[in-house]
Structure 1
């Protein structure tokens, strides 16, 4: 059997075909979609959980932009929708969006995919940007692969997701995509809410929020909101309990020429971790826990103050100082010898921008971001690995593997501009330069111990330039099309640079770059809201760990696909919403690691080609009851990089219900995995054997919400 390889010319032709196909589909969409009246209201009533083109989005520019004219793709989960979903963890809500495939691990652990395979290690931590009100939740080089355990989504003002490289306002980690968790602002008339729930596997959860707004002199106002969430989860598997406590305080001040929003958020996680299982179909195996001593303890505190000042009618200054601190301690149950890792960092910075509105509908944002971080990491194996292996005890010796500190500085000027070329046409262009400096200090003896390489103290610097251009055109009142060409880039994670293996060379890791083109359309066709786009991306300097446990620093991958989001009212109280993705993620280089052979053109592992989420809803005419049946589809995917073992994928169904018992009292519940389907949240290969994070059996959750 012959194996085809793609060279540079063939790749260029293939990219052109993708773009031509996108243009053809886009042109066809123009011809099919007639004019229609756009929906009205920014906040959706509960009896119409349908995306609305006039909804304001804030992620791209920092100011309210109607979704209908948003430059590029964006998806949004409103605060009301998030409350109806009542997710145990954020993935339950986010996987309703196109292009996202977040795999839940044990407790609060997870791995993310946004227009990508499910990525692990430094790639999984550094390829996605997680924000709270537009401020990164972690320092760029110190990202967390389980980053959303530090998010507070329970009391939410909504979640916005951009797939593919972020705009010029966002730097490192906004490569494959970004997720912006919006805090709920104080209500104009004040409000209070308490939600209590209980579910299968001894899950107790309580959330609450209250706000008050008061008027001051000279047309000023002060708003306050306090929110909390407490989760006590007994765990689906043995020795897998999870406790989380979250709190947030928000203060808003408004004056005729000034707006301030300040937030203080704290999150604590204590988890008993269930490791991988060798089967997801045998309950004697998948309900057990081969790592009963595994744990993860983490906490994070962050504060930010966004200050907007109108210097004139067409000039606004925005300053956002912020500070954060976090620490984590966990047993690395997935490695031989089960070492303990401790890490943490504190950081502070300033996001600044000057927004200019020019004559003719044009606007320009000049920005400068700066950040300083002081971080540390240690990895210690307290017990010897018993002989004879594999792996060899000599490779994983008892004692200190790593112990180092890193001080980091990031400086990033940028410009983002929008130009009104015609009444219905906008051209946007942006450019960001980002300088990153790491000052690394090794606190352990230099040299090799087992397979671990501890390098001498050193300084590393990276310079990354990320341009972006886009064109948006409103063909009529019902259809808008756009095309974007962008580069995403990220400096290496500090673990990529300083947590080395014995065959690696210091300084080998380079900044990862991803070049992207997307073309899409959104609109309202005879009452059907839709957004669809096609994308093609090429990534260089992909850094990952191979089957032998060694890091590869020069990988290349290609990514192409189509995404679709739909919603429509069906009549008689019924409505439907859906998100679907077909994507092909492939290796674009060759690599041999023992029995694992990566070939140019093979699928990247853990990259299902198809993802889908469909919800059929029903609302009573008086809006007192809302129910929804959800279908979740994950297609088959290769479990290893050599494409030798495949997970078949799965389809599960969930049911949710929300009933207003009285004016201030709501009862709600959900039945997950209705048909008790056996499936794996994650399937992969580790040290030569298949392993799984088993999906949960059928589960029930009920609760009540008191709102005033």
Structure 2
């Protein structure tokens, strides 16, 4: 569904597309999204501390606004963040550990995904309750106080499917004061009856991370007394996100289809910018509501595709600094603003 938001034969996609299916993801059992997407050619997720990351798709590893503004990152075709409100680490807003597949489209893509899809698209696909065979639970443990529990509870009838799944992770971190606690929960309710299909999805995530800074010094990694020290024990990142949407589709004779997807999206994040010498505290959030609608008609070798996207977002950001760094960077509030955006 990555090219035109509907199922397609991979040979019919006009683009460089790769994907990782659920069997491969179960084999990987990733602890970080880097471990999965590193298997896709020309795609690279640079692993940061905890769950942080930077993205590259046929590009350098980009940071700052370019680190997210140049990529379209989505779940079931819906952007994880509102247009203009992206974050370089936004993939931790998705339960990539328990998806049905990960899709990656490399290179400049269709305007269907907006101006963000400059270098490529990453699309996270949620499972289908009708394809889920049974409920399960698993537990993983590892060094540095790492532990993770994953679960899935499913039930289905001829027309209705229900799936509740999620994971809870605790990691003490390799460096001092560098661990994180993370929780991700998904609820899916699906209906299939004749020409109609409806998929209702609720996603909730929470991340509480103690962020580590970089150790500097020549060959310091060889010094056992220094290589686990954290030069920024005060650094942290707390992030919460919620998305709820309903994918409603109608198919007539395999040649005519219509779909509409209303959605609500919310994120809230606070983090200390330890990578800046003056270390300001950043607090940002946004709430949005929108809808995607699409009509498709096939005329033999010709396909007519039309539709519209609407998104209304209210966002805000507040940055303050505890101590004076210089006359131009005094203690106190640096700026506070709110934005109303419509697309």
State the TM bucket, normalised to the shorter chain: over 0.9
Residue 328 of structure 1 is aligned with which of 242, 256, 269?
A: 269
Cα pair 2:203 2:242 within 8 Å, conserved: yes
Q: CA deviation at 1:213?
A: 1.3
Q: CA deviation at 1:69?
A: 3.2
**Deviation string for 1:445-483 (max 9, x for gaps)?**
xxxxxxxxxxxxxxxxxxxxxxxxxxxxxxxxxxxxxxx
Q: TM-score, normalised by structure 2?
A: 0.96
Q: In the alignment, is residue 123 of structure 1 matched against residue 66 of structure 2?
A: yes
Q: In the alignment, is residue 94 of structure 1 matched against residue 27 of structure 2?
A: no
Q: CA deviation at 1:188?
A: 4.7
Q: CA deviation at 1:186?
A: 0.8
Q: In the alignment, is residue 395 of structure 1 matched against residue 333 of structure 2?
A: no
Q: In the alignment, is residue 266 of structure 1 matched against residue 207 of structure 2?
A: no
Q: CA deviation at 1:314?
A: 3.1
Q: In the alignment, is residue 384 of structure 1 matched against residue 324 of structure 2?
A: yes
Cα pair 2:20 2:103 within 8 Å, conserved: yes
**Higher RCO (CA < 8 A, seq sep 6+):** 1
Q: CA deviation at 1:367?
A: 1.4
Cα pair 1:278 1:286 within 8 Å, conserved: no
Cα distance in 1 for residues equivalent to 2:31 and 2:157:
34
Q: Secondary structure at the match of 1:349?
A: strand
Cα distance in 2 for residues equivalent to 1:62 and 1:102:
24
Q: In the alignment, is residue 158 of structure 1 matched against residue 101 of structure 2?
A: yes
* Structure 1 residue runs without a partner (length 5+): 1-57, 216-220, 386-392, 411-708
Match of 1:305 in 2: 246
Q: Secondary structure at the match of 2:57?
A: coil
Match of 1:585 in 2: none
Q: Secondary structure at the match of 1:338?
A: coil
Q: In the alignment, is residue 149 of structure 1 matched against residue 92 of structure 2?
A: yes
Q: CA deviation at 1:68?
A: 3.0
Match of 1:344 in 2: 285
Residues 264, 95 of structure 1: alpha-carbon distance in 2 compared, 3 angstrom cutoff? same
Name which one, 1 or 2, has greater alpha-carbon Rg: 1
Q: CA deviation at 1:254?
A: 0.7
Residue 21 of structure 2 is aligned with which of 70, 78, 81?
A: 78
Residue 186 of structure 2 is aligned with which of 242, 245, 248?
A: 248
Residues 341, 312 of structure 1: alpha-carbon distance in 2 compared, 3 angstrom cutoff? same
Cα distance in 2 for residues equivalent to 1:407 and 1:332:
25
Cα distance in 1 for residues equivalent to 2:221 and 2:92:
28
Cα distance in 1 for residues equivalent to 2:107 and 2:163:
33
Cα pair 1:262 1:303 within 8 Å, conserved: yes
Q: CA deviation at 1:304?
A: 1.1
Cα distance in 1 for residues equivalent to 2:254 and 2:23:
34
Match of 2:83 in 1: 140
Q: CA deviation at 1:189?
A: 7.0
Q: In the alignment, is residue 407 of structure 1 matched against residue 340 of structure 2?
A: yes
RMSD: 1.4
Cα distance in 2 for residues equivalent to 1:189 and 1:124:
35
Cα pair 1:169 1:367 within 8 Å, conserved: no
Q: Secondary structure at the match of 1:187?
A: helix
Cα distance in 2 for residues equivalent to 1:396 and 1:110:
28
Cα pair 2:317 2:336 within 8 Å, conserved: yes
Match of 2:154 in 1: 211
Cα distance in 2 for residues equivalent to 1:313 and 1:67:
18
Q: Secondary structure at the match of 1:343?
A: strand
Cα distance in 1 for residues equivalent to 2:36 and 2:175:
22
Residues 189, 202 of structure 1: alpha-carbon distance in 2 compared, 3 angstrom cutoff? closer
Q: CA deviation at 1:394?
A: 2.0
Matches within 5 A, 1:428-577: none
Match of 1:581 in 2: none
Q: Secondary structure at the match of 2:112?
A: coil
Cα distance in 2 for residues equivalent to 1:80 and 1:407:
42
The number of equivalent residue pairs is 340
Q: CA deviation at 1:311?
A: 5.4
Match of 2:233 in 1: 292
Matches within 5 A, 1:186-225: 186-188=129-131, 190-215=133-158, 221-225=159-163
Q: In the alignment, is residue 111 of structure 1 matched against residue 51 of structure 2?
A: no
Q: CA deviation at 1:399?
A: 1.1
Residues 193, 238 of structure 1: alpha-carbon distance in 2 compared, 3 angstrom cutoff? same
Cα pair 1:115 1:176 within 8 Å, conserved: yes
Cα distance in 1 for residues equivalent to 2:93 and 2:55:
14
Q: CA deviation at 1:63?
A: 2.2
Residues 69, 355 of structure 1: alpha-carbon distance in 2 compared, 3 angstrom cutoff? closer
Q: CA deviation at 1:313?
A: 5.7
Residues 268, 78 of structure 1: alpha-carbon distance in 2 compared, 3 angstrom cutoff? same
Cα distance in 2 for residues equivalent to 1:204 and 1:101:
26
Cα pair 2:15 2:106 within 8 Å, conserved: no
Q: Secondary structure at the match of 2:221?
A: coil
4+ residue segments displaced more than 6 Å: none
Match of 2:195 in 1: 257
* Structure 2 residue runs without a partner (length 5+): none
Q: CA deviation at 1:362?
A: 1.5
Cα distance in 1 for residues equivalent to 2:139 and 2:47:
23
Match of 1:361 in 2: 301
Q: CA deviation at 1:194?
A: 1.0
Q: TM-score, normalised by structure 1?
A: 0.47
Q: Secondary structure at the match of 1:83?
A: helix
